[in-house]
Amino acid sequence: MSEIHMDQQVISSLREVMEGGFAELLDTFLLDSEERIGQLHNAHEARDLTLVAHSFKGSSSNMGAIRLAQLCGQLEERAQKKQLAGIEELVIKIDDEYQMVRQLYRAERQRVAASSFASGG
Amino acid sequence: MNSPLPQAHGLTVLIAEDGAADRLLLSSIVQRQGHKVLLACNGAEAVELFRQQRPQLVLMDGLMPVMDGFEATRQIKALAGEVLVPVIFLTSLNHADALTRTLEAGGDDVLIKPYNPLLLAAKITVMDRLRRLQETVLQQRDLIARHNEYLLNEQRVAKAVFDRVAHSGCLSAPNIRYRQSPYALFNGDLLLAAYTPSGDTHVLLADFTGHGLPAAIGAMPLSEVFYSMTTKGYGLGEMLREMNAKLKRILPVDMFCCATLVCVSAQRRSVEVWSGGMPDGYLQARAAGQRTPLISQHVPLGVLKAKAFDHSTQVLPMHPGDQLFLLTDGVTETIGPDDQLFGVERLQRVLDSNREPQQLIDEVEQALRDFQGRTRDDVSMVLITSQLPEHPGMPVMLYTDSGQCSPLDWSASFEFRASTLQQFNPLPYLLHLLMEVHGLRAQGAVIHSVLSELYSNALEHGVLGLDSRLKRDAEGFTRYYRLRNQRLAELQRGFVRVSMQVMPCPRGGRLTLDVEDSGQGFDVAKMMARPLELDRFSGRGLNLVRQLCPAARWSEEGRKSTVEFSWEALA
């Protein structure tokens, strides 16, 4: 069930691609995402909302946060079509999903730190 | 998985992506594949980085703050100009309209998130190959352009040189009209004209096989032979032998030179023609309104070895005012619509309808324009009108020596016997010797004319026993020259003697020329009693001599003539 929040296959291929930079990638993703969440709440115009949702969708998708990427995709589409009724609900859903994602990725980050410490790296 | 392509390495790749995580991920992937990375957070930064560092490839996000990827791509493509800088768009979903927008903005490919490192490497490799291909195409295009410019410049220089060579003669004389397409020379056409020492006009119209510079190369030696031998007083036969031998020696086997060489002599009322491999020329008699085609009877120059080469010429009557029209095959072989040739019949129709001879060339040109679909650049035409020189001695020869050593007291005597008369023309040598005497140079043309006449009278009427009355009409004229060639070929005995005596006088000097032959002689008293008539074929030679040299004397038997030229000391 947690696969939909953090795709293990994507994570392992990212670990492979990034090698020593994997921890930094996780940090960057989490930091960037906090910023996106803030921007989502502060967005006043549909255009800004679209842009933020688009970027957030892109990075989540790359990082294997599949559900988060899907929700951002829905938000982007609705914002683009200016279907703003009930949009707050969707933003809250994204909030909730991100809380889940954050936990999982932080845990992943801890594991990386431990294993690199263990391997002396 | 092994990539089937050798992977691209060492490119500078610009990444424009507003998401920090995506940027980090992408730059790690690209760096790991051996490339240098430039990072931009939006389109404006991307354009600026491109301007400064000229990366070879761009990975571009579509939606970005400040300036989106579409606009940035347009600006980068504009900055890149002819150079191909591939732009790969980064996009989340496979929306058809989003893909279309990337292509419209000038994107070359698309990479869909989440990124697959192998796919990205393959795309970079393919784009790099395209980029190199474009680079090669541009380099080759520039190379071809440079070569072409080089070639055109060479042609311009060569044309300037050739024009100077080919037009140093008397093509601008009032009795010569001609038309040549500007680069006709580079299609092998050559037109030369020059005066002989006695004021006759030599014209050569030649057409080398082939095109371009190679076809023009032969023009140099041919012009040199033409001008130098004409100036020295050589006849057509000697010039043709020399030209043929020279071209045979220097031209490659598959190259030769079609040519018509003529000597128009208004003084002798005649034209001498040799033509090999050329389209028919035309002799138009003004008075009779008659047109005689001049048909090529020989193999072109540069084909036959000296022994097999036939330099025999045709002599036709040509009065002052008569015209000779010569052309190269560019005229008759101009191709019109339906691949039809202009041809001889169309040309003859133009000649038939011509009223004003001076307009003839324009009329032929107009007919070609009316007829043709395609322009040819090897059209040459020349129209020569027989015209008596204003005063004999028109061409004053230029000498370059200092004039310090001039022989003033000497005599010499020559006897030319049968086998020599058959094949040797001593006139250029005799003239050359006489022109060493500086005081005689001003009269060079007259001396040449008179000596030529006396020599040919001695040979033709004396040694060969030809009756000048034969030349009374055009038919007889042709018969006369046929007979001359026949008798000369069969000649067993006989001689022409030329003696020259140069003596100094108190204020100058005097040349006495005697020309004597082994023939029957003629009735001197009767001849001297005849009035000086110029417009008759018969007896032309003696009339000319008497006109040019009033003190000319003939011995009683008419076998020996004597003329004198004196000069005053040069200031």
pLDDT tens by residue, B224-262: 899 999 988 899 999 999 999 999 998 888 889 999 999
Percent of chain B having pLDDT more than 70?
91
CB contact (8 A) between residue A17 and residue B32: yes
Is the N-terminal amide bond of B114 cis, ω within 30° of 0?
Answer: yes
CATH number at residue A52: 1.20.120.160
Q: Is B117 touching A (CB cutoff 8 A)?
A: yes
> Helices marked H in B506-560 — which ranges?
524-529, 540-548
Q: Give the model confidence (pLDDT) of B139-179 as tens digits.
A: 999 999 999 999 888 878 887 887 777 666 788 888 899 98
**Domain final residue pick, B119, B137, B155:** B137
Q: Is B37 touching A (CB cutoff 8 A)?
A: no
Indicate whether B394 belongs to any domain. Answer: no
Confidence of residue B536 (pLDDT cuts 50, 70, 90): very low
| Neighboring chain A residues of B19 at a CB cutoff of 8 Å | 32, 55-56, 58-59
Nearest residue, CB atoms, A62 vs list B18, B63, B115: B115
ipTM of the complex: 0.88
The answer on pLDDT for B10 being more than 90 is no
Indicate whether A93 belongs to any domain. Answer: yes
Indicate whether A118 belongs to any domain. Answer: no
Same domain membership, residue B214 and residue B315: yes
For residue B281, the tally of other CB atoms under 10 A from its CB is 21
- Say how many domains are in chain B: 3
What are the contacts of B115-120 at 24+ separation with CB within 8 A?
Answer: B115/A62, B115/B25, B115/B26, B115/B29, B115/B90, B117/A13, B117/A17, B117/B29, B117/B32, B117/B33, B118/B1, B118/B3, B120/B26, B120/B29, B120/B30, B120/B33
* pLDDT for res A116: 67
Indicate whether B154 belongs to any domain. Answer: no
The answer on pLDDT for A117 being more than 70 is no
* pLDDT for res A4: 86
Indicate whether B399 belongs to any domain. Answer: no
Rounded mean pLDDT of B323-342? 86
Rounded mean pLDDT of A86-93? 88
The string of DSSP letters for B193-223 reads: EEE-TTS-EEEEEEEESS-HHHHHHTHHHHH
Max CA pair span of chain B: 127
Same domain membership, residue B458 and residue B366: no
Q: Could you list the residue range(s) of the whole structural domain that residue B323 is in? A: 167-385
Same domain membership, residue B414 and residue B366: no
Same domain membership, residue B556 and residue B442: yes
In angstroms, the Cα distances linking B268 to B325, B535, B543 are 19, 10, 10
Confidence of residue B5 (pLDDT cuts 50, 70, 90): low
Indicate whether A76 belongs to any domain. Answer: yes
d(CA B517, CA B458): 5
Confidence of residue A119 (pLDDT cuts 50, 70, 90): low
CATH number at residue B467: 3.30.565.10
Contact B494, B433 (CB under 8 A): no
Element (H, E) at B152: helix B117-166
CB contact (8 A) between residue B19 and residue A31: no
Max CA pair span of chain A: 53
- Say how many domains are in chain A: 1
Q: Is B405 touching A (CB cutoff 8 A)?
A: no
* pLDDT for res B161: 81
CATH number at residue B46: 3.40.50.2300
Nearest residue, CB atoms, B114 vs list A33, A55, A61: A61
Indicate whether A52 belongs to any domain. Answer: yes
CB contact (8 A) between residue A31 and residue B20: yes
CB contact (8 A) between residue A61 and residue B20: no
Q: Could you list the residue range(s) of the whole structural domain that residue A16 is in? A: 2-111
Q: Give the model confidence (pLDDT) of B121-140 as tens digits.
A: 889 999 999 999 999 999 99
* pLDDT for res B143: 94
Rounded mean pLDDT of A90-110? 91
CB contact (8 A) between residue B21 and residue A59: yes
CATH number at residue B300: 3.60.40.10
pTM: 0.66
Listed range (B75-79, B198-202, B355-359, B473-477) with the worst mean pLDDT:
B473-477
Same domain membership, residue B274 and residue B171: yes
The answer on pLDDT for B497 being more than 70 is yes
d(CA B111, CA B88): 7
Indicate whether A119 belongs to any domain. Answer: no
The closest alpha carbon to B110, from B87, B84, B89, belongs to B89
d(CA B364, CA B354): 9
CB contact (8 A) between residue B19 and residue A55: yes
B78 or B330: which carries more pLDDT confidence?
B78
Same domain membership, residue B60 and residue B182: no
Nearest residue, CB atoms, B114 vs list A10, A19, A33: A10
d(CA A87, CA A46): 10
Q: Give the model confidence (pLDDT) of A43-65 as tens digits.
A: 878 888 888 998 899 899 999 99
Indicate whether B504 belongs to any domain. Answer: yes
Exposure string over B496-529, b if 16+ CB within 10 A, otherwise e:
bbbbbebeeeeeebebebbbbbbbebbebeeeee
* Backbone phi and psi for residue B473, each to the nearest 5 degrees, phi listed first: -130, 175
d(CA B7, CA B121): 7
Based on its alpha-carbon atoms, the radius of gyration of chain A, rounded to whole angstroms, reads 15
Coil, helix or strand for B487? helix
Q: Give the model confidence (pLDDT) of B215-229 as tens digits.
A: 778 888 899 899 999
Sheet strands side by side (includes B257-265) = B189-195, B201-208, B257-265, B270-276, B314-317
* pLDDT for res B539: 54
Indicate whether A121 belongs to any domain. Answer: no
Q: Is B114 touching A (CB cutoff 8 A)?
A: yes
| Neighboring chain B residues of A14 at a CB cutoff of 8 Å | 25
* pLDDT for res B36: 94
Same domain membership, residue B112 and residue B23: yes
SS (H, E, C) B242-276: HHHHHHHHHCCCCCCEEEEEEEEECCCCEEEEEEE
Same domain membership, residue B261 and residue B127: no
d(CA B511, CA B493): 30
* pLDDT for res B541: 66
Indicate whether A14 belongs to any domain. Answer: yes
What's the number of CA atoms in the CB half-sphere (13 Å) around residue B185? Answer: 24
B526 or B347: which carries more pLDDT confidence?
B347
d(CA B419, CA B424): 9
Type of residue numbered B120:
L
B31 or B338: which carries more pLDDT confidence?
B31
Strand partners, B514: B499, B562
